[in-house]
Structure 1
């Protein structure tokens, strides 16, 4: 297993297996210069990390390098844990996917009676994105805004379309699902996810919207040839906020094969009722997909999701047979990261 920054394991040559060398070349092409922000990547097979490396700087000012141990904000790749929490509670008969949202709200607006938990999970609620709602109220990305600010803005709005009609990606859906988890369990969302997913699977992950996470990379905007730190004091969760390394995320991916957490009910629920995304995710590199439980099912039966928050950009993909997973995450805009993830998956599955 490669754990050094962009270095290939020499033993690969002795065995005639060049997958590590080819993987390192993919990362080097993705991050041509090691002196600015960069990326980390990992490949997992049946729950074991078989290759991982980093290239570039986690902190440009101090020169701290990105390694396989560098923590990143996984952004919307966090949504799968929120959706799986709902599936887990449904399997325990503590809620049902066809329950109206209104059942889990105090002083619920009338429109919430027509939106189901399944609508939220599959992005068919028609609810506008809370980011747009907050900005319309004059709240900038540089202003403090927490979970309750997002909830207040969402519940004061109206769906843009009739619920259940068509896919329209909105982070509001997953902020609301996190609220449902807290309402049903009586626990903070982060605590429930830790107890039910991270701890049983021995995953070094945390749900934290705060920037002060040990070992975390800083995120950057790269404009005019310079790298400018890019962070926001917004602190929402459910739609994002899982902090971890690429290696830990590919270890988690094995649950899609084993069903160790949630069993067959969760595994079936991941893709049951998945809805066509049409062309709406094309700009993220995802076409002809069907959105399931916080993850997209592609025609070849692989699973994929993208995450973008601040300067963090992550791609997570699981092979059709669920044996192999890849994560690529960068701390600045990297338009080829999605392609790099597919290249790595091809290297380790073909």
Structure 2
């Protein structure tokens, strides 16, 4: 999912904060050509066929990048079952929790500018902070050691369903009205609340809507066709589906929280973004160091999602072999992102239906392009 032909596209996206952001979806270089006889493209296509045996239902797209250039990308299946629109390298997906790395990097960027510090208490950035927020640091939020309950569970406990309207304000209110499940710093416990709060902190520090900040500081400088736009029908976006007994039901939610997800893009653009982990073009050496600094063990918490044990840093997992990885799952969208230990190669696989094992597919693609 990237573009083989260079295209410049402009889309006006209304952010959840109510601010209109003009997003330039700038095209990127064509995939790199390889010598005759190289079978990596054929083997990569076979991985996608194994992942999605039938092209007639929802499917997946995948891309591989090397040092910032897309070297292979493809799609298989349908982006929209009603119209029959196929998934291609240009199809846009919601990257779900793979968006968290941008939130964490935004915090690291501001820390590098001395506009905040990771040991600052959350209470410093709230108007009427509950007492418990004085003991939770921004670093706790970033590494999921705050002990705060996931806002999705909190909203649903209040009777707000995924089919009901709910945004950033409702999520933050529910979080602040709750009590943490564990003392901060005690253990890793993945919670989307942490990243919704970090997005709020960025807005308080910069005075800018969080989607606009990401656009200004990351997407535009890196010429990435990306936008943070929750619950929005972005041009070219796939519809998402639930599968049951061979049939597919559309899956969508009007919830508009951000910071924890909602970056809209293609796999090809995501592997282009991955090169910042090698170059530090945005944030420099300080941001790159911050990605791993203070990372905490996740133990077996994420094994059920296909991720081996590792340490959670700045919105990304660091595996024992020094590769980077993250998963994203939201309302029928499922993404896997992986960067090689030497930071030269990146893989993204994203689907608009729950696939048998897109994490395994990402590993297979990484093996094909690094061995």
- Please give the range of the TM-score, normalised by the shorter of the 2 chains: over 0.9
Contact 2:3 2:90 in 1 (8 A): no
Q: Distance in 1 between matches of 2:270 and 2:118?
A: 26
Contact 1:2 1:50 in 2 (8 A): no
Q: Any idea what SS the aligned residue of 2:218 has? A: helix
Contact 1:75 1:239 in 2 (8 A): yes
Q: 1:292 aligns with which of 313, 317, 335?
A: 313
- CA apart distance, 1:287: 1.8
Instruction: Flag structure 1 segments of 5+ consecutive residues without an equivalent.
Output: none
- CA apart distance, 1:288: 1.4
1:147 correspondence with 2:164: no
Q: Any idea what SS the aligned residue of 2:290 has? A: helix
Superposed CA deviations along residues 93-152 of structure 1, whole A, max 9, x for unmatched, are: 000000000000000000000000000000000000000000000111111111100000
Q: Distance in 2 between matches of 1:152 and 1:313?
A: 28
Q: Distance in 1 between matches of 2:309 and 2:86?
A: 37
Matches within 5 A, 1:46-125: 46-125=67-146
Q: Distance in 2 between matches of 1:31 and 1:286?
A: 21
Q: Which residue of 1 aligns with 2:11?
A: none
Q: Distance in 2 between matches of 1:133 and 1:218?
A: 27
- CA apart distance, 1:210: 2.2
Contact 1:75 1:309 in 2 (8 A): yes
Q: Distance in 2 between matches of 1:95 and 1:164?
A: 19
Instruction: Flag structure 2 segments of 5+ consecutive residues without an equivalent.
Output: 6-30
Q: Which residue of 1 aligns with 2:194?
A: 173
Contact 1:3 1:67 in 2 (8 A): no
Task: Quickly say closer, same or farther: Cα 1:79–1:329, change in 2 above 3 A.
Answer: same
Matches within 5 A, 1:250-329: 250-329=271-350
Superposed CA deviations along residues 236-283 of structure 1, whole A, max 9, x for unmatched, are: 000001000000000000000000000000000001000000111011
- Alpha-carbon RMSD: 1.3
Q: Which residue of 1 aligns with 2:20?
A: none
Q: Which residue of 2 aligns with 1:34?
A: 55
Contact 1:306 1:314 in 2 (8 A): yes
- CA apart distance, 1:2: 8.6
Contact 2:3 2:268 in 1 (8 A): no
Q: Which residue of 1 aligns with 2:13?
A: none
Q: Distance in 2 between matches of 1:277 and 1:91?
A: 26
Scaled by the length of structure 1, the TM-score of the pair is 0.97
1:231 correspondence with 2:252: yes
Q: Any idea what SS the aligned residue of 1:162 has? A: coil
1:131 correspondence with 2:152: yes
Q: Distance in 1 between matches of 2:230 and 2:54?
A: 29
Number of equivalenced pairs: 344
Q: Which runs of 4+ in 1 moved over 3 A?
A: 1-4
Matches within 5 A, 1:185-200: 185-200=206-221
Q: Which residue of 2 aligns with 1:216?
A: 237
